Amino acid sequence: MSDLRFDDKVVIITGAGNGLGKSHALEFAKRGAKVVVNDLGGSAFGDGADAAPAQVVVDEIKAAGGEAVANFDSVEDGDKIVQTAMDTFGRIDVVVNNAGILRDKSFHKMTDDDWDLIYRVHVKGSYKVAHAAWPHMREQQYGRIINTASAAGIYGNFGQANYSMAKLGLHGLTQTLAIEGQKRNIFVNSIAPIAASRLTETVMPPDILKNLKPEYVSPLVSYLCHESSTETGGLFEVGCGWFAKLRWERTNGLGLPVDNISAESISEGWDAVVDFSENTTHPAGTQEAMMGPMSNLQNK
């Protein structure tokens, strides 16, 4: 198979000064892309700012013969990041929404500030970058966007109510952008990665972390963003060299006659509501999902 190249393509990676974003930036640069290396350079908690992390990655890409420019704005000003791409390289083809912070606290200790900041960086930041890139992608009939979700959003995780909300919210964004972008060759996917970084170094032991290299995640991102990939609307778990797609699964359900709907009749039929052992379905869109309730229309 020929190499998956990104020559003449312009790629924005947010939060590319460290961890996964840095690895993504180096991966795209190695494949010929012109890379906008965005990073605010604050702490993992979301405090402060520093130009060094983004600049170091740009210097590394240039030293290896690649092309890159640094951008130090917060993703909350995502339009400025896209402007850097347009001013420097004249186009934008790929957005990898990766920037992130944590404000982990059990729910009863969580403040409005913890909630809002996580929303602003992860959800609003991803929206702002994608929204500013969208008209250019529509116009050129080509675009690829990756939103970075998390297992915490898919499955829940103690102490991460704010982060879980944001991370699964991002996959909701992915699914609708995939629908709206389809006709214009704009494909949008989510990844839920696992990798050693400053966000995970305090929660996992060193011997596990050494096998969780960010470099094991980035090839999936470059594959999904290549013009040859038609995958869109997907959610992928990725880490340690393992790659898997997730989907919704629905039970066959309980259909009650409409004149017999009550808490008691639901209680009596509860096994059918929660039984995944047979006749499950995997609705892939709202139309297919509607088939569930619609199948009970004649149940009078």
Among residues 10, 12, 20, 26, the one that binds ligand NAD under rule CB under 6 A:
20
- Piece of 58-66, 98-106, 174-182, 260-268 that binds ligand NAD (CB under 6 A): 98-106
Kind and range of the H or E element at 54?
Answer: helix 52-63
If the CB atoms of residues 70 and 199 are measured against ligand NAD, the closer one turns out to be 199
* Amino acid letter, 232: T
Q: How many CB atoms lie within 10 A of CB 61?
A: 24
Distance CA 120, CA 98 (A): 13
> Restricting to residues 132-161, which ones interact with ligand NAD according to CB under 6 A?
148, 150
Among the listed ranges 1-9, 13-21, 103-111, 220-228, the one in contact with ligand NAD (CB under 6 A) is 13-21
Which residue number, 82 or 298, has a Cβ lying nearer to ligand NAD? Answer: 82
In Å, what is the CA distance from 209 to each residue of 214, 239, 241?
A: 10, 11, 13
Among 142, 163, 216, 223, the active-site one is: 163
Question: Residue 272, SS3?
Answer: helix
| DSSP conformation class of 50 | -
Tell me: does residue 190 bind ligand NAD (CB under 6 A).
no
Q: Please, are residues 153 and 167 in contact by the beta-carbon 8 Å criterion?
A: yes
**In the complex, minimum distance from the CB of residue 104 to ligand NAD, in angstroms, rounded to a whole number:** 11
User: 251-271 in b/e burial notation, b at 16+ Cβ within 10 A?
Assistant: bbbbeeeeeeeeeeeeeeeee
Taking the complex as a whole, the smallest distance from the CB of residue 194 to ligand NAD amounts, in Å, to 4
Residue 158 makes CB contacts below 8 A (sequence gap 6+) with 106
142 is catalytic: no
Site for ligand NAD in 31-70 (CB under 6 A): 38-42, 44, 53
Cross-strand partners of 245? 236
Among 52, 198, 201, 240, binds ligand NAD (CB under 6 A): 198
Binding residue for ligand NAD, selected from 66, 125, 181, 234, defined by CB under 6 A: 125
Residues lying near ligand NAD in the complex (CB under 6 A) are found at 14-15, 17-21, 38-42, 44, 53, 74-76, 98-101, 121, 125, 148, 150, 193-195, 197-200
